[in-house]
Amino acid sequence: MTKRSPKSKDSSYTWPRVPLIDTRQKVAEKYGRAEDYGFFGPDSVSWKVWSHSSSLILGFVRSVTIEHLDPNLTAAVVQSGGVKYRTHTRYGRTMAYFSQVTFGAARPTAKAADVLVKVHSKAIGTDPVTGGRYDANDPESQLWIHVTAWHSILYCYEKFGGGTLAPAEELRYWDECARAAELQTIDPDRVPRSRAEVVAYFEEKRPHLASSEAAIDMVKFILSLHVALPPTMSRWQRAPFLPLTFILSKAVIATYPKYMRDLLAIRQGPLVNAVAIPATWAVHQVIERSFVLKYFLMSVLSPQALPSAIPAVLGVEAEKPVTTTPREAQARYGYDVPREAHLGFRAKQYQRVFDDGQAPSEEGLVESQEHIGAM
């Protein structure tokens, strides 16, 4: 596989065409109506929070960098090589999946979640930091990813977006977070259900968090925010985004608690924080006041998320304006509960890697392209 430099001079990138007249109507017609409202719907707190522009870069970058403090996750990421060698597609697939979970219709999302179990079955091996085995399908590993994502999205929404949720809204948000966990191998009873429980969860995890040369390298790579820009952009096409990505990167760092900055060997003074936080808040106020601008940025930064997100952002009524739960959808469409899904295939992967010393099968990766985007 050929490695593309984030500074590639390839000028084949085509700017998204965003019409200035009847934009909402034309965009709505382009993406059509969802089959149903999936697992949350327009009255949910999840739709309110995740549809905000602070989710585009800030929330996701914050979560995927903090996640690297789990040595097992870092080992899985480094082993796959995807983040560095196909940065934008890896970012796009992640955005596409989380967008499906939050906004997508029940049937295709249940399928994507089922396929993702097979994708994660490839991410197994021996962690060079702890010496133990890692498995991306491990329920506790999945819980760490899930909580950091939902917490980071909410944290950035409150700090740079819509302000603090009302207490009742926040409780609903974490209930919805637990519902979404049913699409992964997580035990839903382990998901925090309140701000206090989230704080307790991070305190529980803190003694088990660790950094490494690989983790620090990955975090610094991601914080450059090249991950969010298409690699085929030319230098002049990237230029307008550089001031934005610079200030957003500093804003992400400003959200880390001190112990995380220390673990990641990141230094940033209070003066930088004092500039980055209000500047980033102001940027998002501007974006939220212009659908044209918001749609343009989504088209550049996360086009793979648009099919699921746009109908929700625009308030387009679904063909069937109903919601369901992941467990109901899994039963209705014939998918196992994720913890029990593809056990035979996962066992074969273990045998290939740990007993036979071979590389894992890529069957899940190939199949996943239809449901969460091309590799």
Q: What is the pLDDT of residues 161-194, one digit of tens each?
A: 889 999 999 999 999 999 999 999 999 999 999 9
pLDDT recorded at residue 283: 94
* Sequence-ordered list of residues with C-beta below 8 angstroms from that of 262, at least 6 positions apart, any chain: none
Cα separation, 190 vs 177, whole angstroms: 11
Question: Hey, what are 14's tokens?
Answer: 């085509």
Question: Hey, what are 265's tokens?
Answer: 């060997």
Question: Hey, what are 249's tokens?
Answer: 């990167």
Contact 43, 325 (CB under 8 A): no
Mean of pLDDT over the chain: 88
* Sequence-ordered list of residues with C-beta below 8 angstroms from that of 109, at least 6 positions apart, any chain: 38, 39, 100, 101, 183, 329
Mean pLDDT of 103-108: 96
**Number of Cβ atoms within 10 Å of the Cβ of 51:** 22
Residue with tokens 């040369």: 213
pLDDT recorded at residue 363: 75
pLDDT recorded at residue 373: 58
Report the candidate in 6, 7, 26, 29 with the shortest Cα–Cα distance to residue 17. Answer: 26
Residue with tokens 């327009």: 42
Question: Hey, what are 351's tokens?
Answer: 């045998």
Residue with tokens 């991306």: 136
pLDDT recorded at residue 301: 84
CA atoms within 13 A on the CB side of 44: 25
pLDDT recorded at residue 13: 62
Mean pLDDT of 13-26: 68
| Greatest mean pLDDT range, 27-31, 330-334, 367-371 | 330-334
Q: What confidence tier does 3 reach under pLDDT thresholds 50, 70, 90?
A: very low
* Sequence-ordered list of residues with C-beta below 8 angstroms from that of 176, at least 6 positions apart, any chain: 39, 40, 44, 45, 46
- For the stretch 152-161, pLDDT in tens is 999 999 999 8
- For the stretch 44-101, pLDDT in tens is 999 999 999 998 889 999 999 999 999 888 888 777 655 555 666 777 788 889 999 9
